[in-house]
Structure 1
């Protein structure tokens, strides 16, 4: 008689053969973490497409990694539809990396966000929605657009943030929403053997995240908050993403994986 565990195992989708190239889409792949992720997948022989809103960083990333660059604003459904025409019929890995803290350097056209008048409320609403668009809606739209193309046994990985746990206004709310939304997505895609997870970085140096807003004092505090007493680097995140998309990550789904050097712990 076949045991229950054996019967269940026979129904599970087969993992991809080790070394079999896949097509990988990395959104926001022109700089920083996205670029490191693209390089990591390209180094193992996968075919990679990197997207972003700026052509120059994408072209530079393409020269470095061999990825195909495609200019695409992932908040725009029409641009996403055009992107589909540049992708193959099967995408093995989707990395939703596009996003960022949109409040940094944002002009305040209608008064201070803290004002209670109509102009202040309009400014606050615009800023809040911008973070939701950049960090949550982009991932939802892109995943929805590619759902039918995701290969069985593939992986979807979103880039979250420590801000979802430690709090950081609209940006933190957007990343927390991303993690909550991913729980349902994991169940939806799981019947096809596709995993869906969130990688949540802490402070990662060598990125454009802070722009000119990071002071030396703030950087030192972010490093001091870690248990390892060092800043993360894009490759730290890239290695975690690559693992979740590997055979070793086939039974990990619906999770948030922290890459923060111990700055925020889970039990």
Structure 2
């Protein structure tokens, strides 16, 4: 049966790989993101896909997606939260670049910079996922709906930028509470926490320094970085009937760089 899959951050990296994985199963995907041109290019690569440009860090953006789903499809079978990133690794740009209530966006005062960094990482990684989930909650297929969040190895051990790891870690208790809230409807909620992943926009235009990259790869037990496909196939499995009794879990996909938990 054809399912409707909403993927935030569906234009690049893990989100795009997930869209292709679901499309191989014949599912129709809705690619969501801030950049229409990126979404258009991605949609050309993904069968059965449509795009819905929206800034998910704002309530209006989440409403845009909810209205699109209501008008076009009615229900959502799978919701994948792949949008996000580390604001410390790139310049603050775009509609969600700064929280005007938290700090002067033009100030170089150290505390203003801290407030701006933490606010942006929270908005991009946590609030965007929460707003879209709450906007689509009533439209999740019952039973059989799936909600999947993308966290990070940084949620367990930091990444050198405390605000990013904290923002990702905040998704874990939200997912656990959501799983409890939606369990009676037959909806599962899980989190996937990748380690270092190649071929994404995560590290911006300059990328990670070679020495740091090699050190991260050396931490794995299989001596390689992850790929978007590694993460996409984990998401695809968690969305399948085979994973119907798995909920409120954090699945780590990191080659053994972080173990347990």
Answer whether TM exceeds 0.5 for this pair. yes
SS in 2 for 1:158: strand
Distance 1:40 1:121 in 2: 43
Distance 2:230 2:90 in 1: 27
Moved over 2 A (4+): 105-111
Aligned residue among 184, 199, 207 for 1:206:
199
Q: Does 1:82 align with 2:64?
A: yes
The runs of 5 or more residues in structure 2 that have no matched partner are 93-104
Q: Does 1:143 align with 2:133?
A: yes
Aligned residue among 140, 151, 154 for 2:145:
154
Distance 2:146 2:63 in 1: 21
| Deviation (angstroms), 1:213 | 4.2
- The root-mean-square deviation of aligned C-alpha atoms, in Å, is 1.2
- In structure 2, the partner of 1:192 is 185
Distance 1:198 1:109 in 2: 36
SS in 2 for 1:205: coil
Aligned residue among 201, 213, 216 for 2:210:
216
- In structure 2, the partner of 1:122 is 112
Distance 2:224 2:218 in 1: 8
Aligned residue among 247, 250, 257 for 2:251:
257
| Deviation (angstroms), 1:191 | 0.7
Distance 2:6 2:137 in 1: 13
Distance 2:86 2:225 in 1: 19
Deviations 1:12-43 (A, max 9, x none): xxxxxxxx111000000000000000010011
SS in 2 for 1:86: helix
| Deviation (angstroms), 1:110 | 2.2
| Deviation (angstroms), 1:172 | 0.2
Deviates more, 1:32-41 or 1:83-92: 83-92
Counting only pairs closer than 5 Å after superposition, residues 46-125 of structure 1 correspond to structure 2 as 46-66=27-47, 67-87=49-69, 88-106=73-91, 109-111=106-108, 119-125=109-115
* Corresponding residue pairs, total: 241
Q: TM-score, normalised by structure 2?
A: 0.90
Distance 1:106 1:47 in 2: 34
Distance 1:22 1:71 in 2: 21
SS in 1 for 2:87: coil
Distance 2:170 2:63 in 1: 24
SS in 2 for 1:223: helix
Q: Is the contact made by 1:203 and 1:231 (CA closer than 8 Å) also made in structure 2?
A: yes
